[in-house]
């Protein structure tokens, strides 16, 4: 064999290897980094008519935390019993009320298509949309749901935000003609932003006190909103989003309003985009119902609750998430309060303050209690029901969080 005959097969082999190398390199390109800027916890709601008889557009307003150059939206049928057809969807900067800014508006697609069918028990993530989203701004997500059978809706029942419905497919309309006001978030689960690798999300996980019960509607006065605004004001933490995964009435160990914290943890915490930190504030409903002086039920002990909270921390740590425990705020005077329940609350708080199973403590109890009567709310912070804070109480809670927890 001459030199030429030996060289040609070797050259062919080299070219083949280079082609394989280039193909593998291209397929291993780094994906975009997505981080949650807004989220809510869906739950099941029966639709007694078992059908949506008319074509309806839902225009839902959300107050985001971090901004970015592109967004994507998560729609949910996680509690649906039937396939859910989304006929069209749109995302735009809110212009106040039901109006949107047409110059900052874009249709959503799903794998390039304008509509999608979501199977029961599932969710979908839209294709990215190039939309410059300012931090702490209001975003309008419009969802067109054509007439179809819907026996059970996936919805967050308490939005503390005015949203809107209108007839027909008007997802891209600048203004809605005589819309109906609603105060829930149907079919909407979250909004993510494209961000750099340093950006991350904080999940606030809890019950009505995290959800913002008794705060002023449309004011974004919940304690996670206060935290988000403070993070944006500090350059060292401005790349951290805050996701509110509170559900009013929620409990750690039993289903009530929504699945228990243990049951919904994967869905509402671990599945969030870019989550790095978790704040847990939950147990007061478990305590209140277990020790209700009039009608106790689903009886649990402080040890049971501590075991449940420990499980949440363990599951988060498994995924590299830092966990901060928030102490339970005062509840003496609430309808389901009792001396036995107060003893349980104090035991849970003592565990939160002293355990080595958490990465830090946020002492909401200390900041909201009356120094003269430590088991009741400071009057200025109370909403009036001796269970939930008012706007001033939520602000005190959000302002009390040490931002150094998120700079490590």
Q: Angle, to 10 degrees, between the axis of helix 391-400 and the axis of helix 223-233?
A: 40
CA dihedral in degrees (138, 165, 106, 92; nearest 10)? Answer: -10
Do 221 and 180 lie in a common domain? no
| Residue 159 CB partners (closer than 8 Å, separation 6+) | 40, 60, 183, 184, 185
Find out whether 281 and 239 touch, Cβ atoms under 8 Å. Answer: no
Q: How confident is the model at residue 28 (pLDDT cuts 50, 70, 90)?
A: low
205-259 tens-digit pLDDT:
999 999 999 999 999 999 999 999 999 999 999 999 999 999 999 999 999 899 9
Q: How many residues does the chain have?
A: 408
Cα distances from 135 to residues 64, 67, 198, 241, 254, in angstroms, run 7, 4, 16, 9, 36
Do 368 and 262 lie in a common domain? yes
Residue 408: predicted pLDDT: 63
Residue 47 CA to residue 151 CA, distance in Å, equals 5
| Residue 240 CB partners (closer than 8 Å, separation 6+) | 65, 66, 199, 200, 201, 202, 231, 276, 277, 406
> What average pLDDT does the chain have?
93
Residue 29: predicted pLDDT: 56
Question: Residue 180: how many CB atoms within 10 A of its CB?
Answer: 12
Do 122 and 219 lie in a common domain? no
Smallest CA-to-CA distance from 76 within 130, 139, 159, 143 is with 143
Residue 25 pLDDT > 60: no
**Which of these ranges, 33-42, 46-55, 121-130, has the smallest mean pLDDT?**
46-55
CA dihedral in degrees (158, 399, 251, 245; nearest 10)? Answer: 50
Last residue of a domain, one of 144, 170, 189: 189
Last residue of a domain, one of 146, 172, 189: 189
Residue 48: predicted pLDDT: 80
Smallest CA-to-CA distance from 280 within 303, 318, 238, 251 is with 251
DSSP letter (8 states) at residue 305:
H
Do 219 and 246 lie in a common domain? yes
Residue 167 CA to residue 178 CA, distance in Å, equals 9
Last residue of a domain, one of 124, 156, 189: 189
Stretch 369-395: mean pLDDT: 97
Residue 31: predicted pLDDT: 87
Stretch 152-158: mean pLDDT: 97
Residue 114 falls inside a structural domain: yes
Residue 175 falls inside a structural domain: yes
The pair of structure tokens assigned to 371 is 């120094």
Residue 10 falls inside a structural domain: no
Do 182 and 303 lie in a common domain? no
Do 84 and 209 lie in a common domain? no
Handedness of CA 200, 206, 210, 213 (dihedral sign): positive
Stretch 44-52: mean pLDDT: 81
CA dihedral in degrees (130, 133, 138, 139; nearest 10)? Answer: 10
Question: What domain range is 151 assigned to?
Answer: 33-189
Stretch 111-127: mean pLDDT: 98
Residue 50: predicted pLDDT: 66
Residue 140 CA to residue 195 CA, distance in Å, equals 20
Task: State the DSSP H helix or E strand holding residue 33, giving kind and residue range, or none if neither.
Answer: strand 33-39
Q: What DSSP string runs through 243-270?
A: EEEE-TT--SSS-BSBS-HHHHHIIIII
Q: How confident is the model at residue 17 (pLDDT cuts 50, 70, 90)?
A: very low
295 by Cβ neighbours in 10 Å (0-12 / 13-18 / 19+) ranks as exposed
Residue 373 pLDDT > 70: yes
Residue 294 falls inside a structural domain: yes
Residue 2 pLDDT > 50: no
Residue 63 pLDDT > 70: yes
Do 394 and 364 lie in a common domain? yes
Our count of domains for the chain comes to 2
Question: Residue 402: how many CB atoms within 10 A of its CB?
Answer: 12
Do 349 and 260 lie in a common domain? yes
Do 211 and 177 lie in a common domain? no
Question: Residue 204 sits in a domain of what CATH number?
Answer: 3.40.50.1110
Cα distances from 183 to residues 19, 40, 154, 161, 374, in angstroms, run 57, 13, 14, 6, 35
Do 215 and 105 lie in a common domain? no
At residue 157, the 3 state secondary structure works out as coil
Smallest CA-to-CA distance from 210 within 164, 261, 171 is with 261
What are the percentages of helix, strand and coil residues in the chain, rounded to 5?
25, 35, 40
Residue 22 falls inside a structural domain: no
Do 256 and 377 lie in a common domain? yes
Residue 124 falls inside a structural domain: yes
Residue 383 falls inside a structural domain: yes
Smallest CA-to-CA distance from 57 within 182, 217, 156, 189 is with 182
User: For the chain, what is the radius of gyration of the CA atoms?
Assistant: 24
How far does Cα 321 stand from its chain's mean position? 16
Task: State the DSSP H helix or E strand holding residue 232, giving kind and residue range, or none if neither.
Answer: helix 223-233
Residue 287 falls inside a structural domain: yes
Q: How confident is the model at residue 54 (pLDDT cuts 50, 70, 90)?
A: confident
Do 261 and 337 lie in a common domain? yes
């Amino acid at each position: 064999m001459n030199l030429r005959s030996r060289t040609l097969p070797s050259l062919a082999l080299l070219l083949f290897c280079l082609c394989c190398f280039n193909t593998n390199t291209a397929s291993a390109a780094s994906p975009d980094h997505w981080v949650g800027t807004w989220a809510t916890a869906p739950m099941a709601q029966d639709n007694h008519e078992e059908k949506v008889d008319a074509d309806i557009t839902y225009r839902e307003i959300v107050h985001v935390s971090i901004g970015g150059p592109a967004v994507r939206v998560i729609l949910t049928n996680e509690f649906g019993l039937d396939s859910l057809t989304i006929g069209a969807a749109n995302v735009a900067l809110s212009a106040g009320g039901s109006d949107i800014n047409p110059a900052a508006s874009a249709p959503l697609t799903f794998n390039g298509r304008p509509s999608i069918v979501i199977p029961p028990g599932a969710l979908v993530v839209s294709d990215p949309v190039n939309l410059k989203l300012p931090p702490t701004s209001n975003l309008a997500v419009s969802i067109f749901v054509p007439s179809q059978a819907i026996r059970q809706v996936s919805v967050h029942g308490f939005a503390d935000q005015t949203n809107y419905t209108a007839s027909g497919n008007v997802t891209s309309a600048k203004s809605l003609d005589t819309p109906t006001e609603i105060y829930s978030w149907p079919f909407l689960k979250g909004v993510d932003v494209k961000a750099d690798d340093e950006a991350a999300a904080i999940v606030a996980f809890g019950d009505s006190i995290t959800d913002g019960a008794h705060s002023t509607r449309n004011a974004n006065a919940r304690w996670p909103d206060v935290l988000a605004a403070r993070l944006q004001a500090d350059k060292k933490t401005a790349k951290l989003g805050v996701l509110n995964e509170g559900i009013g009435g929620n409990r750690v160990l039993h289903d009530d309003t929504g699945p228990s914290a243990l049951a919904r943890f994967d869905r509402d915490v671990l599945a969030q985009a870019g989550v790095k930190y978790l704040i847990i504030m939950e147990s007061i409903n478990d305590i209140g119902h277990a020790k209700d002086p009039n009608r106790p039920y689903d009886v649990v002990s402080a040890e049971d609750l501590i075991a449940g909270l420990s499980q949440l921390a363990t599951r988060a740590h498994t995924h590299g998430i830092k966990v901060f425990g928030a102490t339970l705020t005062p509840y003496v005077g609430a309808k389901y309060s009792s001396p036995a329940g107060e003893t349980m609350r104090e035991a849970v708080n003592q565990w939160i303050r002293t355990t080595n199973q958490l990465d830090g403590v946020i002492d909401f109890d200390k900041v909201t209690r009356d120094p003269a009567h430590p088991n009741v709310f400071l009057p200025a912070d109370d909403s009036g029901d001796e269970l939930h804070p008012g706007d001033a109480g939520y602000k005190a809670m959000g302002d009390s969080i040490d931002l150094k927890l998120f700079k490590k």
